[in-house]
Every structure is written in C-alpha cells, then in structure tokens.
Amino acid sequence: MEEVLHRTIKSFVLRSGRITKLQQHALDNYAQLYCIPYEAEKKLDFVQVFHNTKQTVVEIGFGDGEATHQMAERNPDINYLALEVYPPGVGALLDVVHTRQLPNVRIVQYDASEVVQNMLADSSVSGFHIFFPDPWQKKRHNKRRLINPAFTALLADKLKTGGYIYCATDWEDYALQMQDVLRGEARISSPFSGFAEKPNDIVPWRPQTKFERKGVSAGRRIFESYFVKTC
C-alpha cells in the first residue's frame, strides 16, 4: 500500500468554510468526548474505543453528519467511526451526538486515506460507507477521486470477511469508474450484476443525504455500488 501511504494527490481541498457559533461551541466542548486524535503509529482497538464488541462501520466523508447520526440512532447495535476533515461538519455532528447522547459514534478529523492506512487494523471493519464523495467532474481532476485501485485494495485489507463497501454518487461517469475499480479488486464481489438495486434486503438502509437531495433536485440519477469481501 505504498502508493496510498505516500500519495500527494488529495481527494479533497481543505476550504475555510464559515463555521457557526453552535458548531464552534461543539468543537470546543465536545471534541474531547467523541473525537479520536489522529495517531499514525496507533491502530485502533474498537472494543476500547466503543466499550463493546459490536460491529464497526466506517463512514468516509460524512459532510454535515446528517446521515451519520440518523444511522446511529436507527442502529444502536452498530458502532460508527466517522471520518471528516471539515470543521463545520465535525462541529455539526458533535452537537447532535452530544445532544442526543449517541454512544455509538466516534469521529476522527483527518484525511480518511491516512486514517484507514495507519489507524485501522487489517480485518477489523464490518463496512465502509462512502456516500457522495467529491466527484472531481473535470477530466483533469479525475485523478483526485477517492475510489481508485490502490485505495480499494486498502479498504479490502481492512474489511473482515463478509464486510462490505457501499458507495453512492450522482455523477454517472464516477459511478461507472467506481464499478470498474471495485470489480477489479479480486477479494470483493457484488451480489448485483451492475449497480445495487433498492429497496433490497441485501443493501443496508441509509437515509437520504443533503448532497443526494441536491442531485435529485438537479435531475441526476443516484448510482449505488455494493460489494462484499469474500476472501
């Protein structure tokens, strides 16, 4: 995984977005309760992190955290490790997690590729959620897309056998790229011949995200990919 570890091309640009007083208050007061500091040399022990032996799902790029807290509330028997770089989104999720007292959510505010590479143990994760990642729609920027062969191989390393990768996007060319890349990883396979079909008992429930609503309003189709680690 040297390509991932030493990559210089980022799948995000850290912008200085406006942060509200509520979000800043949450960052100042609740981060110590629910955030895990990035430590490159320390693999996370989910039993110690969540104080239980439940399965852990990792959400990569949770945005404002709306979908994250809804999934956590609906699925109290699943732990959610949420990764995001943007302070306003982290603050928004922290506020809800603390207000609603959700014990099954923890946050790492850092580059997801480095967190997955350096802080997750192999064969430890039950699922990865990657909902509406930045599509980098200009052709010259396609190289920045998160779903690439090296990162997909890394996700497969971290998954337990039977664990899944669940991606969603409203950009068709990125969706097709996702399918090509995911189908190129020998250790995972999809129960679907193409994109995932919903409603379907195979695919885990997820709420509609803010980015999804924008895509639907703009008339774009939602494309979902679902793959399971088989070996």
Order of strands across the sheet that contains 223-229 = 105-108, 78-83, 55-60, 125-131, 159-169, 223-229, 188-189
| Nearest-10 crossing angle of helices 112-119, 149-158 | 40
Q: For this structure, is 45 an active site residue? A: no
Distance CA 197, CA 174 (A): 18
Distance CA 44, CA 194 (A): 34
Distance CA 120, CA 144 (A): 22
Distance CA 153, CA 117 (A): 11
Contact (Cβ atoms closer than 8 angstroms) between residue 64 and residue 93: yes
Contact (Cβ atoms closer than 8 angstroms) between residue 93 and residue 24: no
Q: Is 91 helix (H, G, I), strand (E, B) or coil?
A: helix
**Active-site pick, 95, 111, 134, 157:** 134
- Known catalytic residues? 134
